[in-house]
Amino acid sequence: MHNERQPHFLADVRRLLVRDPLAEFLGAADKGLFEYRYDDAVRLAGHSCPTVASAYMLTCHALAALYPDSIPERGGVQVRFRDAIDSGVTGVIASVVTLLTGAAHEGGFKGVAARFVRRNLLDFAAEQPMAVRFSRLDNGAVVDAQVDLAPIPADPAMPELMACSLHPGCGPEIRARFAELWQERVRKVLIEYADDPKVYRIQHQPG
């Protein structure tokens, strides 16, 4: 069996425990409990980058704010993006949000006897003050969320290393150095700045 070799810091990233009623109903998980890790998002996206990392951590913060006294309910949250799905990295962020919340666009799960519906819980190009809005379906609680990665600048050597790494004649040492610095910024996004309110902005909306 092949053993995955991933950056060592992934084991230290905060995990997200959610309860999925659909998983419980269909016997996919005892009591419907899933524990998501950042490497689940990495496998989904096929890569680890500041965008994927911040989408993961922002969703963790938003769900913690929505469910301060209980386990977040996967499938119980509607998510709206201010930007269009094809704008910048919105689609990438949305895929991570879907993984963690269950909220899906028009191609999502239709439900069973009108229960466990996941489709149309994800929307785009919405008029709202911040980048992402998370809303509970059961009690109407709402939090707005946004990421600002400016306080976590990339290493100054990154542009040159990236340009060289993309060249067919680039040596393995330079490619390894580029990957190391790239993942170091990801580490900062997920661990060093994980609770920095200047990076992750969460704002409750009046009910």
| Residue at 57: amino acid letter | M
pLDDT reading at 70 higher than 90: yes
DSSP state of 190: I
Share of the chain above pLDDT 90, in %: 87
Residue-wise pLDDT tens digits, 121-179: 999 999 999 999 999 999 999 999 999 999 999 999 999 999 999 998 889 999 999 99
Q: Is domain 15-149+197-205 in CATH 3.30.1330.20, yes or no?
A: yes
Cα–Cα nearest to 135, from 58, 74, 79:
79
pLDDT reading at 2 higher than 70: no
Place 204 in a pLDDT band, splitting at 50, 70 and 90: very high
pLDDT of residue 25: 94
Place 14 in a pLDDT band, splitting at 50, 70 and 90: very high
pLDDT of residue 74: 97
pLDDT of residue 86: 96
pLDDT of residue 189: 98
Contact 121, 102 (CB under 8 A): yes
Contact 21, 200 (CB under 8 A): no
Contact 193, 152 (CB under 8 A): yes
Place 190 in a pLDDT band, splitting at 50, 70 and 90: very high
CA atoms of 171 and 134, how far apart (whole Å): 45
Residue-wise pLDDT tens digits, 30-56: 999 999 999 999 999 999 999 999 999
Cα–Cα nearest to 143, from 71, 84, 56, 63:
63
**Stretch 185-201: mean pLDDT, rounded?**
98
For the chain, the C-alpha Rg in angstroms (whole number) is 18
pLDDT of residue 113: 85
Specify the pTM: 0.95
pLDDT reading at 28 higher than 90: yes
On the CB side of 57, CA atoms within 13 Å amount to: 30
pLDDT of residue 169: 87
For the chain, what is the mean pLDDT? 95
Contact 117, 110 (CB under 8 A): yes
Domain ranges, ordered by start, for the chain: 15-149+197-205
